[in-house]
Amino acid sequence: MMTSHCGVTLAIICWMIVFFKQTQTSNGSELSFSPCGGVGKICRCRGTTADCSRNGGKLTFIPAFSRRITALNISFNRLSSIRSENFFKNVTELTELDISGNYMSTVKTGAFKVCTRLNILYSRKNKMNYSTLGEILDIPTLRVLDLTHCSLRNMPNDLFHRNVTSRLTTLILDKNMNTRMNMSAVKPLRYLKHLSLSQSLVSGVVPDHLPFLEKLEITFTFLSSFPLTCDDRGEAFYPTLVYMDMNGNRVTSVPSPFFVEPYLCLPNLTVLKLNHNCLITLDMTVFKHLNNLRELSSTRSSIENIYPEYLRSLRRLDVHNNLLQHFPETCVVGSRSFYPRLSYLDIGLNEIRFFSYPNPAPTICLPWLTELVIKYPEQDELDMSFFKHLTNLTKLNAKKWKYRHDPCPTSCRL
Ligand SMILES: *[C@@H]1O[C@H](CO)[C@@H](O)[C@H](O)[C@H]1NC(C)=O
Ligand SMILES: *[C@@H]1O[C@H](CO)[C@@H](O)[C@H](O)[C@H]1NC(C)=O
Ligand SMILES: *[C@@H]1O[C@H](CO)[C@@H](O)[C@H](O)[C@H]1NC(C)=O
Ligand SMILES: *[C@@H]1O[C@H](CO)[C@@H](O)[C@H](O)[C@H]1NC(C)=O
Ligand SMILES: *[C@@H]1O[C@H](CO)[C@@H](O)[C@H](O)[C@H]1NC(C)=O
Ligand SMILES: *[C@@H]1O[C@H](CO)[C@@H](O)[C@H](O)[C@H]1NC(C)=O
Ligand SMILES: *[C@@H]1O[C@H](CO)[C@@H](O)[C@H](O)[C@H]1NC(C)=O
Ligand SMILES: *[C@@H]1O[C@H](CO)[C@@H](O)[C@H](O)[C@H]1NC(C)=O
């Protein structure tokens, strides 16, 4: 009797210890950062992540850690250069490294040799140029490289030609000083899927065949024309592109003022963002060969007209804050729809006066439309008979707004 009672008590105590320990470890090392490494409070660890950021100059070398470290953050440490080729000797298992905000300009040859697993490198806000970047571009395991805000100018055309072993899939060049992008320069990156050039000084794109690119972002730059997507044989430069964001440019027409069929060669494009540009008309015919286009947005421009076209795959259309005076045309002859699969439409903040439409209201052919946003001018009244054909409509966001056209950039009018 006595022993079994003891056993039970012991078991309960053991269980309590284990439970307590578990809660402790889960709080101490998994959920929050705690001091680690050999240098007091300079680094904090959580699991295999070490954060040694923001020591403002106190971190001069990377300490040895008592645990395996796979992600290290040494950003904002005034490390203007990596002088020793042994710099990363204490963290050879890194897969992710952040060296941002150090105004770093040089890296000792071979410094990254010991990091044989480095996958992701954030080097934002540094001062490297393309020749000093060589050490980084040569890291054979690197997949993701973020070079935002590094004062980089135009990429040399042969930057990657010297070494085609790179397996970069993501290259972020936002907020740099490049004025054009020659796609031939990144063509040797045979695995490149995501390229971003946002908030740079880019005003032109020299096209080339990038057969693996899936995501292209060129937002808030100085492009005045839509990049060429078809070569002179009508073949796609970017056949696998799925997502294209061109917000915040000065594009006046898509694809260019002198287009001929097939207009755009983007067979896999699913999402196209063209908000905040200088469009006056939105000509849907240019999208007619984009059989995968599901989402199109062109808000905050000066669009007065939408020329309709049969777009079989389009699901979402957002054209709010433009200068439309009429509800977009949706019916082909009969009651067949131009946009048979459209389920979301935002035409708010335009100049459509529902009240002044003649009676009976025009037919709207959008059989799949479930959500409609029509913020409309204060002086107007909504005539619900307008929407009587929308049998699938479940959400109507029809608010009155003090009309305020938030125009395209003033640069549009230059
Ligand atoms: C663990 O952390 C959570 C949230 O931070 C807190 O609510 C909980 O009381 C902590 N547990 C222990 C045992 O410290
Ligand atoms: C590795 O860490 C130890 C202890 O923190 C330190 O003395 C040594 O200088 C470090 N090695 C390098 C190459 O930085
Ligand atoms: C590194 O630390 C900086 C500053 O503490 C932080 O802003 C940044 O997000 C961190 N990097 C990563 C990859 O978490
Ligand atoms: C690149 O930067 C390094 C180090 O700051 C400098 O010595 C070199 O002259 C620079 N090269 C160019 C082409 O600006
Ligand atoms: C390319 O990079 C790899 C890996 O860093 C290196 O071993 C090789 O020597 C480089 N090749 C050239 C031609 O620079
Ligand atoms: C683009 O780069 C390629 C080589 O990568 C070069 O042959 C071509 O002349 C460049 N084009 C322009 C317009 O700079
Ligand atoms: C387009 O995308 C589909 C799947 O989304 C994929 O199966 C197909 O191979 C892609 N086509 C091209 C040319 O990349
Ligand atoms: C309404 O939507 C459902 C799916 O939610 C669809 O099956 C149906 O065909 C739609 N109605 C019309 C008229 O297309």
Determine the distance separating the centroid of ligand 4 and the alpha carbon of 137, expressed in angstroms.
16
CA 361 to chain centre: 41
Whether the per-residue pLDDT at 24 is higher than 50: the answer is no
Question: Nearest residue CA, atom 1 of ligand 5?
Answer: 163
State which H helix or E strand residue 215 sits in.
strand 215-217
More confident residue, 398 or 335: 398
How far apart CA 293 and CA 275 sit, in angstroms, is 16
Better-predicted residue by pLDDT, 262 or 62: 62
Banded pLDDT at 22 (limits 50, 70, 90): very low
Residue 84, number of CB atoms within 10 A of its CB: 12
Residue 232 CB partners (closer than 8 Å, separation 6+): none
As a whole number, mean pLDDT of residues 327-335 equals 88
Q: Which two tokens stand for residue 400?
A: 């009155």
Q: Examine the pLDDT at 335 and tell me if it is beyond 70.
A: yes
Q: Which atom of ligand 7 is nearest to the CA of 267?
A: 13
Partners of residue 120 on adjacent β-strands: 96, 144
Q: Is the peptide bond before 239 cis (omega within 30 degrees of 0)?
A: no
Query: What is the structure's pLDDT at 8?
Result: 57
Relative to the CA of 105, which ligand 4 atom is closest?
5
d(CA 139, CA 313): 41
Percent of the chain residues topping a pLDDT of 90: 68
The protein residue whose alpha carbon is closest to atom 14 in ligand 3 is 73
Residue 397 scores a pLDDT above 50: yes
Contact predicate 205/184, CB 8 Å? no
Among the listed residues 184, 197, 95, the one whose alpha carbon sits nearest the alpha carbon of residue 139: 95
**Is pLDDT larger for residue 294 or for residue 16?**
294
Question: pLDDT grade, residue 354 (50/70/90)?
Answer: confident
pLDDT of residue 286: 94
Residue that has been written with the tokens 């490149």 in this structure: 192
Q: Is the dihedral of CA 8, 13, 16, 21 positive or negative?
A: negative
β-pair partners for 345: 317, 372
For ligand 7, is residue 239 a contact (CB within 6 Å)? Answer: yes
DSSP code at position 331: B
Q: How far is it, in rounded angstroms, from Cα 91 to Cα 124?
A: 21
Whether the CB-CB separation of 408 and 380 falls below 8 Å is answered with no
Residues whose CB falls within 8 Å of the CB of residue 269, separated by 6 or more in sequence, listed in order: 241, 242, 243, 244, 290, 292, 293
**pLDDT at site 35:** 83
Q: What is the DSSP string of 60-84?
A: -SPPP-SS--SEEE--SS---EE--
- φ and ψ at 68, to 5 degrees? -75, 130
Residue whose CA is at the smallest distance from ligand 7 atom 4: 268
pLDDT tens for each residue of 249-264 = 999 988 865 667 889 9
Which of 107, 104, 141 has the alpha carbon at shortest distance from 123? 104
Non-local (6+) Cβ contacts of 340 within 8 A are: 312, 367, 368
| Residue 138 Cα to ligand 5 middle (Å) | 6
CA 294–ligand 7 middle distance (angstroms):
14
pLDDT in tens, 284-310: 999 999 999 999 999 999 999 999 999
Question: Is the distance from the beta carbon of residue 392 to the nearest atom of ligand 8 less than 6 Å?
Answer: yes
- 221: pLDDT strictly greater than 70: yes
Read off the pLDDT of each residue in 145-173 and give the average, rounded to a whole number.
90
CA neighbor of 279 nearest in space, from 251, 257, 299 = 251
Task: Give the position of tokens 């294209």.
Answer: 244
Query: Which residues of 312-413 form beta strands (DSSP E)?
Result: 316-318, 344-346, 371-373, 376-377, 395-397, 400-401
pLDDT at 355: 65
- 358 Cα to the center of ligand 3, angstroms: 59
How confident is the model at residue 342, as a pLDDT? 98
Whether the per-residue pLDDT at 28 is higher than 80: the answer is no
Contact 244, 267 (CB under 8 A): no
Q: Relative to the alpha carbon of 85, which ligand is closest?
A: 2
- Mean pLDDT score of the chain: 88
CA dist 21 and 11 (Å) reads 15
Task: Please list, in sequence order, all residues whose beta carbon lies within 8 angstroms of the beta carbon of residue 100, skipping any fewer than 6 positions away.
Answer: 75, 76, 122, 123, 124, 125, 126
Yes or no: say if 155 and 179 are a contact pair by the CB < 8 Å rule. no
Residue in 193, 209, 240, 242 to alter for ligand 7 test, most ligand atoms within 8 A of Cβ: 240
Question: H or E stretch including 17?
Answer: helix 2-25
Share of the chain above pLDDT 70, in %: 85
